[in-house]
């Protein structure tokens, strides 16, 4: 009788171990599936964010260009000049296809490794008015190249002092915030610049120090 009881207890223990093992494997499988599912969603969100973020602006300026050629020990001079009107379309773009990141499935963490710098494109339309020149000092290709270079340099300074770059950075932060919202909603963490980002304000502050 005692042997029978021992056999029954032994069988019961074996069955219990099998059931617990099955439950553990089922739980592990569900957990792995959940992590994989979350990872796929996050990767899809990054793909949705990974686009060209473009901010456009328009600048205008009026320039007076003068150049003088002197001869006979500066006794005779020939001047050329023109009134130049510049209208320029400017774009500030972030190509988020180039953003580098790392996904840590085990710790449920996504780390932004690198955000590309902005790309500034200046397309000036230069019109010449009231052109005055002489045969001994005509407008040449060198003049046009010099004017074009000067115009772009001056526009670059205007862009730095305008709100165009700030607006572009705000649009960038808005796009990256979509990743932050996704990670927070799924119990993941977003890291950048060596720290965990908890809010859009922190994201803005950290990005502002790097851009």
How much is the pLDDT for 85?
95
Q: What residues form DSSP beta bridges with 101? A: 112
Q: Please classify residue 81 by burial: count the beta carbons closer than 10 Å to its beta carbon, then call 0-12 exposed, 13-18 middle and 19+ buried.
A: middle
Q: What is the pLDDT of residue 86?
A: 95
Per the listing, tokens 């379309």 go with 89
* The predicted structure's pLDDT at residue 27: 41
Q: Please give the backbone phi and psi of residue 68, each rounded to the nearest 5 degrees, phi first.
A: -130, 135
Q: How many Å is the maximal CA-CA distance in the chain? A: 134
- The sign of the dihedral angle between the CA atoms of 197, 201, 207, 210 is negative
Claim: this prediction has a pTM higher than 0.75: no
- pLDDT digit string (tens) for the chain, length 211 residues: 555 455 545 454 454 444 444 444 444 444 444 555 567 777 776 777 667 788 999 999 999 988 877 666 666 777 889 999 999 999 999 998 898 989 898 898 999 999 999 999 999 999 999 888 888 788 888 999 999 999 999 999 999 888 999 899 999 998 889 888 888 888 889 999 889 998 888 888 877 766 6
Which residue spans within the chain are E strands per DSSP?
52-71, 76-95, 100-104, 109-114, 119-132, 189-192, 195-197
């Amino acid at each position: 009788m005692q042997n029978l009881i021992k056999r029954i207890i032994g069988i019961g223990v074996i069955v219990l171990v099998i059931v617990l093992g099955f439950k553990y494997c089922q739980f592990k499988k569900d957990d792995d599936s959940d992590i994989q599912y979350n990872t796929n969603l996050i990767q899809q969100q990054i793909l949705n964010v990974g686009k060209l973020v473009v901010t456009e602006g328009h600048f205008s300026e009026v320039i007076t260009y003068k150049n003088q050629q002197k001869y006979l020990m500066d006794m005779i001079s020939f001047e050329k000049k023109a009134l130049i009107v510049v209208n320029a379309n400017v774009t500030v773009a972030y190509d988020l296809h180039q953003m580098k990141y790392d996904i840590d499935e085990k710790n449920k963490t996504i780390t932004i490794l690198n955000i590309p710098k902005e790309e500034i494109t200046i397309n000036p339309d230069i019109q010449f008015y009231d052109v005055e020149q002489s045969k001994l000092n005509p407008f040449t290709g060198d003049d046009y190249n010099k004017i074009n270079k000067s115009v772009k340099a001056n526009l670059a300074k205007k862009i730095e002092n305008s709100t165009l770059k700030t607006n572009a950075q705000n649009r960038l932060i808005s796009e990256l915030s979509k990743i932050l919202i996704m990670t927070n909603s799924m119990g993941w963490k977003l890291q950048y610049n060596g720290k965990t980002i908890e809010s859009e304000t922190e994201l803005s502050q950290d990005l502002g120090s790097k851009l």
